[in-house]
């Protein structure tokens, strides 16, 4: 059986082959128990424990393959989804649906100009030259600012967009900003945000196996939640339970177990975000909680 026949029997899942989302995506696949081996120089990998084939593609191409081809789902940046749909509006049979924000790869697509220049607002760039690798979003953004008879020149550059102003080919740029360090080194400043982005799980409007997609989404969401939350257990007198529950309400509500019906003590288990562990524990202790324990989560299945 050749590769094309094998792929026809599997759900196709597109993932970034390189770039800022690549390693985090590999972590998501591993955490979701999607096991595969990718051979060198081969951009297709068969998953060992599920009827899935991973297709490694540039992040910018993934919305096209998911929205218009045979690929049923993919991981890419929201910026790339919007860039694709800015020129190819989705119909009933094309386009993608964003089903899960993956919580990594956060960045902003921003209008940037020389920090020491005269331009302070995006309106001042109207009629001038803007360089970007997001030509569709940039065109849509500046067309909304233009008056009749005005037209901003949007030029495509695939890399080193931040150098365009210094090298004299642009008055401003539209580019992704993560930490902002590259922008500052290039002598640029942001004057407007076009799109706020992060990594997302997208699904085709015509998937081949909705049941399997549901399983994959559940696995990925469960692993992401396990990275975001920890399990917190503590004992507290029932008189203080209401105050403690306001401090740490959990994703839905705390699980409360009676320890001793006569003296009023209960055991509580609740999920709290990792980012707020220290503060929550301090506040719970002040509220009367005792024997507080924090346990990591290997995986979860929780509702929103």
Distances (CA, A) of 289 to 156, 237, 240: 59, 8, 8
Which comes out higher in pLDDT, residue 95 or 270? Answer: 270
The answer to whether residue 225 sits within a structural domain is: no
Same domain, 111 and 189: yes
Does residue 1 have a pLDDT over 80? no
Same domain, 146 and 264: no
Same domain, 204 and 155: no
Q: For position 174, which CATH number holds?
A: 3.40.190.10
Same domain, 203 and 95: yes
Same domain, 113 and 186: yes
Same domain, 162 and 116: yes
Does residue 246 have a pLDDT over 90? yes
In this predicted structure, which of 3-12, 142-151, 295-304 has the lowest mean pLDDT? 3-12
| pLDDT tens digits for range 170-220 | 999 999 998 888 889 899 999 999 999 999 999 998 888 899 999 999 999
The answer to whether residue 180 sits within a structural domain is: yes
Does residue 102 have a pLDDT over 70? yes
Using a 10 angstrom Cβ sphere, with 0-12 exposed, 13-18 middle and 19 or more buried, the burial of residue 206 is middle
Same domain, 116 and 77: no
* Structural domain boundaries enclosing 244: 230-295
Same domain, 75 and 127: no
The answer to whether residue 91 sits within a structural domain is: yes
Closest C-alpha among 66, 63, 46 to residue 6: 46
Same domain, 70 and 203: yes
State how far the Cα of 256 lies from the Cα of 261, in Å rounded to an integer: 13
The answer to whether residue 136 sits within a structural domain is: yes
The answer to whether residue 224 sits within a structural domain is: no
Same domain, 70 and 136: no
Average pLDDT over residues 289-301: 93
State how far the Cα of 221 lies from the Cα of 168, in Å rounded to an integer: 46
| pLDDT tens digits for range 20-58 | 899 999 999 999 999 998 887 789 999 999 999 999 999
Distances (CA, A) of 61 to 85, 200, 217, 255: 12, 14, 21, 45
Total tally of structural domains belonging to the chain = 3
């Amino acid at each position: 059986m050749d590769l094309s026949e094998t792929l026809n029997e599997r759900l196709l899942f597109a993932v970034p082959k390189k770039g800022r989302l690549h390693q985090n995506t590999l972590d998501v696949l591993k955490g979701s128990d999607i096991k595969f081996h990718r051979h060198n120089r081969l951009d297709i990998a068969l998953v060992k424990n599920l009827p899935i084939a991973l297709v490694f593609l540039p992040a910018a191409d993934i919305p096209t393959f998911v929205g218009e081809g045979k690929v049923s789902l993919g991981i890419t940046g929201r910026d790339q989804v919007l860039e694709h749909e800015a020129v190819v509006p989705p119909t009933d049979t094309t386009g993608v649906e964003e089903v899960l924000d993956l919580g990594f790869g956060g960045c902003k697509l921003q209008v940037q100009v020389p920090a020491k220049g005269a331009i302070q607002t995006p309106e001042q760039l109207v009629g001038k030259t803007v360089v970007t690798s997001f030509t569709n979003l940039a065109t849509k953004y500046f067309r909304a600012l233009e008056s009749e008879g005005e037209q901003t020149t949007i030029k495509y550059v695939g890399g080193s967009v931040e150098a365009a102003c210094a090298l004299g080919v642009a008055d401003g740029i539209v580019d992704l900003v993560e930490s902002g360090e590259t922008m500052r080194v290039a002598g640029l400043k942001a004057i407007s945000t076009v799109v706020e982005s992060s990594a997302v799980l997208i699904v085709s409007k015509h998937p081949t196996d909705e049941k399997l997609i549901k399983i994959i989404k559940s696995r990925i969401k469960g692993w992401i939640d396990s990275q975001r939350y920890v399990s917190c257990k503590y004992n507290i007198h029932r008189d203080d339970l209401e105050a403690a529950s306001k401090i740490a309400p959990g994703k839905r509500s705390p699980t409360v177990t009676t320890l001793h019906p006569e003296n009023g003590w209960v055991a509580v288990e609740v999920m709290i975000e990792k980012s707020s562990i220290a503060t929550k524990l301090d506040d719970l202790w002040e509220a009367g909680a005792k024997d507080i324990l924090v346990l990591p989560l290997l995986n979860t299945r929780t509702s929103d």
